[in-house]
C-alpha cells in the first residue's frame, strides 16, 4: 500500500504515544454493545494536513521554535505547488537578522545536485522585500583536493513567487558541483539585494594610446586541471588608478595594457561603497561588465577573466593559505578585504586599435549584508540516484560518469581543446531518458561548464534539469544527442 508524506508523518507521530493496551481493551469490551452511532465528518485535505501538523507539533516538540515553523512546508506546497514538491524533504528552519527572516522550507540532494526552497521576508515593517529581491546563497561544504571552489548556484536567483500581502519572496534554488553533495550541509546567505540598477560608461582612454605593462604572478590561482577559466596565472600589477580618469559607481581603472596582442583591462572597486543617497554601489564584477566592440561593430568575446579580492595594500591571499586556512578565518579575510579586482582579456588587432571601442557597466543596488546560516538535512538518497554504464565519447568529449536523478541528468568528464571543442561536442545534443513507455525529453539545451578556455584535459560538468520529477526506476538509458548510455 502506498503511503503519502502526510500519512507517514502522522503515523510516525502517533507511534510515539505510550498506550495502555489492557485499559484500552477493557473499555472497548464495555462499549461493544452500545448502539449509539456517530457519523464521521469528512475532512478536506488542507484541514487534514493542518490537524496532522498540530498533532506532530504537540507530540514531538513543545518548543517555541517548532510552533513558529510548523506548517510552513504544507502552506507553501499547497499555495505554490512547485514542480519538485513530491521529491523534497521538509526542513522548516529559519533565522532572523537585520530585520529579515529567511526560512528554509524544503530541500533535497541527489548526487551532484541539490534543490532548495526558501523564503525571504522583511519583518522590520519597512517593506523592503519586493518582486525584485535577489540573493546569492552558498552551500558550506568542506573543501578538499576534489572540491576546491565550493558549489555554485545554477538557475535563477529571482523569486519563484512574491507575496505582496506578507512581503515575502519565495525561491527555488538549484546547486551543482562536480563531486557528491552531502545530505547534511549549511546554506549561507551573506547579502540580500532589494533592488539593482545598471548604468553604462564609455571607456575614458583611447585604446590606441595604450602600451604594455608588467604582469605579476597570480598567487591566488589554483593551477590544476580543475582550475576555472577566471583564474589566470598572471595579472596586471594592481594600482589605485594613478594616471587614469575616475569612474562612477565607486570604481576605478586599475591598469590597462596590450600583452601578447591581447587587451588586458583591470578594474577595481571598493567591496562596499555607500553613496550620499544611502545606496550601495559596486562595480559590476561579471564578464558583461566590460564590453568590447570590434572594427565592424561586432562584439568581441573575452578569452579570460580574473576576479580577486585584495587587502588595503592591493595584496591577494596566496593559494596555499586559502587551502590551509580554517573556513571561518578564510571567510573573515574575504569579507574584510576592502577592494575587489576584475581583469578581462580580449583578443584584438593591435594594428587597428583605434577601431575598437570599450564600454564599462556599473551597478547600483539597495542591499544589506548579514549572516543568514541554516543547516539542512535531506536524508539519504543514494537509492534514488541511477548510474549510466561505462565511459562514452560524445564528439570530442569523454563522459566518464553519467547519473540520472529525480532532478535530471548529470554528466562529467574531460575534453582536449578547451571550451571551444567542448561546446562544439555538446552543441545541438538534447538529453532524453529512455523508459518502457518511450523516450522522454529532459532538456533540449543542457548547461555545460568547462574548467579551461584552452588546453588539454579540460574538465566539464553538465546538467540537464527536468521540468518535473523523474521516476528513476523507470529509466533504462540516458540519451545525449545520438549517444545511448544504458542505466544499470
Q: Is 108 domain-assigned?
A: no
C-beta atoms surrounding 35 within 10 Å? 4
Q: What pLDDT shows up at residue 363?
A: 62
For residue 54, what are the domain limits? 1-7+42-70
Same domain for 359 and 411? no
Whether 326 and 455 share a structural domain:
no
Task: Verify that 223 and 304 share a domain, yes or no.
Answer: yes
Domain assignment of residue 101, yes or no: no
Whether 412 and 361 map to the same domain: the answer is no
In a domain, 434, yes or no: yes
| Shared domain check, 266 and 357 | yes
**Residue where one domain finishes, among candidates 23, 55, 70:** 70
Based on the fold, state whether residues 206 and 321 are members of the same structural domain: yes
Would you say 74 and 47 are in contact if contact means Cβ atoms under 8 Å apart? no
- Write down the pLDDT at residue 230: 47
Q: How far apart are CA 62 and CA 187, in angstroms?
A: 26
Please give the tally of structural domains in the chain. 3
- The reply to whether 260 and 404 lie within a common domain is no
Residues 212 and 266 in one domain: yes
pLDDT for the residue numbered 49: 30
For residue range 350-360, list pLDDT tens digits in order.
888 889 988 88
Neighbours of 15 (CB within 10 A): 9
pLDDT digits 0-9 by tens, 370-413: 889 999 998 888 888 999 888 899 998 999 989 999 999 999 88
Query: Does one domain contain both 393 and 258?
Result: no
Question: Has residue 162 been placed in a domain?
Answer: no
Has residue 107 been placed in a domain? no
Same domain, 317 and 218: yes
- Indicate left, alpha or beta for 177 from its phi (over 0: left) and psi (-120 to 50: alpha): beta
Q: Are residues 295 and 356 in the same domain?
A: yes
Torsion angle, CA of 278/284/288/293, rounded to 10 degrees? 90
Running DSSP on this structure, what letter comes out for residue 214?
Answer: -
Q: Of 239, 309, 238, which is closest to residue 270 (Cα–Cα)?
A: 309
Residue 114 domain-assigned? no
Q: b/e for 263-301, b at 16 or more Cβ within 10 A?
A: bbbbbbbbbeeeeeeeebbbbbbebebbbbebeeeeebe
Q: Which three cell numbers stand for residue 334?
A: 574575504
Q: Does 235 fall in a domain?
A: yes
**Is 145 domain-assigned?**
no
355 shares its domain with 206:
yes
What pLDDT is stored for residue 471 in this prediction? 94
Instruction: Please tell me the predicted confidence (pLDDT) of residue 356.
Output: 92
pLDDT (0 to 100) of residue 94: 94
Residue ranges in the chain whose pLDDT is less than 70? 1-70, 142-158, 196-198, 221-231, 248-250, 271-289, 362-365, 452-455
Amino acid at each position: 500500500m502506498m503511503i503519502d508524506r502526510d500519512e507517514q508523518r502522522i503515523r510516525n507521530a502517533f507511534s510515539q504515544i505510550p498506550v495502555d493496551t489492557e485499559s484500552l481493551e477493557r473499555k472497548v469490551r464495555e462499549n461493544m454493545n452500545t448502539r449509539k452511532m456517530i457519523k464521521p465528518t469528512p475532512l478536506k485535505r488542507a484541514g487534514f494536513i493542518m490537524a496532522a501538523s498540530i498533532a506532530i507539533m504537540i507530540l514531538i516538540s513543545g518548543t517555541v521554535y517548532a510552533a513558529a515553523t510548523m506548517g510552513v512546508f504544507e502552506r507553501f506546497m499547497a499555495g505554490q505547488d512547485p514542480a519538485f514538491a513530491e521529491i523534497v524533504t521538509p526542513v522548516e528552519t529559519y533565522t532572523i537578522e537585520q530585520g529579515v527572516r529567511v526560512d528554509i522550507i524544503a530541500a533535497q540532494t541527489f548526487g551532484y545536485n541539490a534543490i532548495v526552497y526558501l523564503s525571504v521576508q522583511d519583518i522590520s515593517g519597512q517593506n523592503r522585500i519586493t518582486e525584485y529581491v535577489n540573493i546569492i546563497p552558498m552551500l558550506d561544504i568542506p573543501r578538499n583536493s576534489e572540491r576546491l571552489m565550493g558549489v555554485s548556484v545554477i538557475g535563477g536567483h529571482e523569486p519563484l513567487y512574491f507575496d505582496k500581502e506578507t512581503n515575502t519572496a519565495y525561491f527555488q534554488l538549484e546547486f551543482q558541483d562536480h563531486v557528491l553533495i552531502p545530505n547534511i550541509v549549511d546554506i549561507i546567505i551573506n547579502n540580500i539585494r532589494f533592488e539593482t540598477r545598471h548604468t553604462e560608461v564609455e571607456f575614458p582612454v583611447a585604446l590606441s594610446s595604450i602600451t604594455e605593462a608588467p604582469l605579476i604572478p597570480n598567487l591566488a590561482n589554483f593551477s590544476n586541471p580543475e582550475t576555472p577559466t577566471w583564474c589566470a596565472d598572471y595579472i596586471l600589477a594592481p594600482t589605485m588608478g594613478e594616471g587614469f580618469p575616475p569612474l562612477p559607481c565607486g570604481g576605478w581603472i586599475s591598469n590597462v595594457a596590450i600583452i601578447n596582442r591581447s587587451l588586458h583591462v583591470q578594474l577595481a572597486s571598493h567591496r562596499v561603497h555607500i553613496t550620499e543617497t544611502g545606496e550601495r554601489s559596486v562595480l559590476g564584477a561579471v564578464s558583461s561588465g566590460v564590453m568590447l566592440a570590434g572594427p565592424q561593430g561586432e562584439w568581441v568575446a573575452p578569452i579570460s577573466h580574473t576576479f580577486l579580492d585584495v587587502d588595503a595594500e592591493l595584496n591577494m591571499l596566496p593559494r596555499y593559505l586559502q587551502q590551509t586556512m580554517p573556513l571561518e578565518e578564510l571567510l573573515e579575510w574575504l569579507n574584510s578585504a576592502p577592494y575587489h579586482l576584475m581583469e578581462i582579456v580580449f583578443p584584438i588587432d593591435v594594428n587597428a586599435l583605434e577601431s575598437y571601442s570599450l564600454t564599462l557597466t556599473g551597478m547600483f543596488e539597495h542591499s544589506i549584508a548579514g549572516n543568514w546560516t541554516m543547516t539542512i538535512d535531506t536524508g539519504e538518497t543514494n537509492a534514488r540516484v541511477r548510474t549510466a554504464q561505462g565511459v562514452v565519447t560524445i564528439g570530442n568529449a569523454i563522459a566518464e560518469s553519467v547519473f540520472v536523478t529525480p532532478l535530471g541528468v548529470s554528466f562529467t568528464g574531460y575534453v582536449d581543446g578547451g571550451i571551444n571543442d567542448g561546446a562544439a561536442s555538446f552543441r545541438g545534443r538534447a538529453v532524453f531518458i529512455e523508459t518502457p513507455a518511450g523516450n522522454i525529453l529532459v532538456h533540449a539545451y543542457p548547461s555545460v561548464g568547462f574548467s579551461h578556455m584552452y588546453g588539454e584535459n579540460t574538465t566539464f560538468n553538465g546538467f540537464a534539469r527536468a521540468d518535473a520529477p523523474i521516476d528513476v526506476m523507470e529509466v533504462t538509458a540516458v540519451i545525449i544527442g545520438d549517444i545511448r548510455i544504458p542505466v544499470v
